[in-house]
Amino acid sequence: MKYLVILQIGIFLCFQSSNSQTSELEQAYNNAYNYHYTNKDSAYHYYRKTIDLGDKQNELEYMLSAYIYLMNANGHYYDLKNYQKNLKQEDSLLLHDQRFKSLENINYYKDYLLFDKGNYHYKIKDYATAKGYFQKLLTKLISIPKEQRNSNDLATLSSVYSFLGAIYKHTGKYELAEYNYKKDIALVSTYRDSFIDWTTSTMNSKKLLSQVYESKKNYTAANLLLIETLEFYKSQLKDPSFKNRILSTYILLAKNYNLQENFSSAIATLDESAQLHFEDNPFSREVDLIYGDAYLGFKDFDKAEAYFTRALLKITTYRENQKHPDLAEVYARLGKVALKKKNIQVALTNYQRALMQLEDDFNNPEFSSNPDPNKVLSKIVLITTLKEKLNTLLESYTITKDIEYLKKANITSKAFIKTLDVLRPEFESKLDKEFLTTETYPTIQTMVLISYDLYQESKEKKYLNDAFYFIEKSKSIALLEAHRNSEATKYGNIPEDVFSEEQLYRAKISYLDKEIFNSKLNEKDALIDSLFTTKKRYYDYIAKIEKDYPKYHALKYMSDVISTEEIKKQLNKNQSLFSYLVTDNSILLIVLNHKNETFYKLPFNENLKKTITDFYRQLSTPNIEDRTAYSKNSALIYKAIIEPALAANHTSDIIILADDVLNYIPFDVLQTNSENERSYLLSKYTISYASSATLLQEQNKTMVKSSNKLMIFAPHFNQNTSKQKASQERIDFGPLLYNGKEAQNISAYFKGTVYDGNKASIENFQKDFGSYNLIHFATHASANDEFPDYSYLAFEDTEDNSNLLYVKDLYNYHIDADLVTLSACQTGFGKLQKGEGMLSLARGFNYAGVPALVTSLWKINDQSTSEIMKLFYENLSDGLNKKEALRQAKLSYLNSNDDAILRHPYYWSGILITGNTAALNTTNYLLWSILTIIGILLIWFLNKKLFKLFK
pLDDT of residue 720: 44
Q: Can you say whether residue 304 is alpha, beta or left, with left for phi > 0 and alpha for psi between -120 and 50 degrees?
A: alpha
- Strand, coil or helix: 601: strand
Answering whether pTM is above 0.85, one says no
> What distances in angstroms separate CA 201 from CA 157, 207, 899, one per listed residue?
12, 10, 72
User: Which residues, 6 or more positions from 1, have their beta carbon under 8 angstroms from its beta carbon?
Assistant: 72, 75, 76, 204, 241, 244, 245
pLDDT of residue 725: 42
Report the sign of the C-alpha dihedral through residues 232, 237, 238, 239, in that order: positive
pLDDT of residue 16: 41
Question: Residue 337 CB: number of other CB atoms within 10 A?
Answer: 24
CA atoms of 402 and 413, how far apart (whole Å): 18
pLDDT of residue 537: 80
User: Which residues, 6 or more positions from 102, have their beta carbon under 8 angstroms from its beta carbon?
Assistant: none
Report the sign of the C-alpha dihedral through residues 798, 801, 802, 805, in that order: negative
Instruction: Tell me the residue ranges of DSSP E strands in 549-620.
Output: 575-582, 586-593, 597-603
- Strand, coil or helix: 719: helix
User: What single string gives the DSSP state of each residue in 501-567?
Assistant: HHHHHHHHHHHHHHHHHHS-HHHHHHHHHHHHHHHHHHHHHHHHHHHH-HHHHHHHT------HHHH
* Rg, Å, the chain Cα set: 33
Mean pLDDT, all residues of the chain = 85
Closest to 197 measured CA to CA, from 206, 205, 209, 188: 188
User: Which residues, 6 or more positions from 474, have their beta carbon under 8 angstroms from its beta carbon?
Assistant: 437, 441, 444, 445, 581, 835
Q: Which residues of the chain have pLDDT under 50?
A: 1-21, 720-730, 925-926, 928, 950
* Angle, helices 629-641/606-620, rounded to nearest 10 degrees: 140
Strand-pair partners of 593: 576
